[in-house]
Amino acid sequence: MKATFTVHDEQYEVALEKKERGEKDKFQPYLAKVTGPSGGVEGACLFTDEALAKAEELATSPGGASAEDLLARACGRSLHSELVIRDLKPDFSFVVDHRWLE
């Protein structure tokens, strides 16, 4: 799953890979690889159950994107808000809830 987004006229891409959810994990983890003008960094986007359900719901809309594409875009929106403030650090971790899908 991939999504592109722009921050301060610079192009970024996030690629997500679903990881196994452990029994103690509160959220569904995805490995997130972000590439941009200054290179790449890896971390995690952690999706709430509400976000996963919302993506599935929106994916059933006529002409809608797939749930995977919606989750990738939501992660991109979350990362965009962070990149406006500061650079991403290696092993970053962001919780992505249903609001990033709206």
Residue 50 φ then ψ, to 5°? -65, -40
Rg (CA), the chain: 13
Q: pTM, whole model, 2 decimals?
A: 0.90
Structure-token pair, residue 78: 């979350």
- Give the structural domain span for 77: 2-101
Domain count within the chain:
1
pLDDT in tens, 14-55: 999 999 999 999 999 999 999 999 899 999 999 999 999 999
List the beta bridge partners of residue 13.
4, 35
Neighbouring C-beta atoms of residue 86, cutoff 10 Å:
7
pLDDT in tens, 50-76: 999 999 999 998 877 999 999 999 999
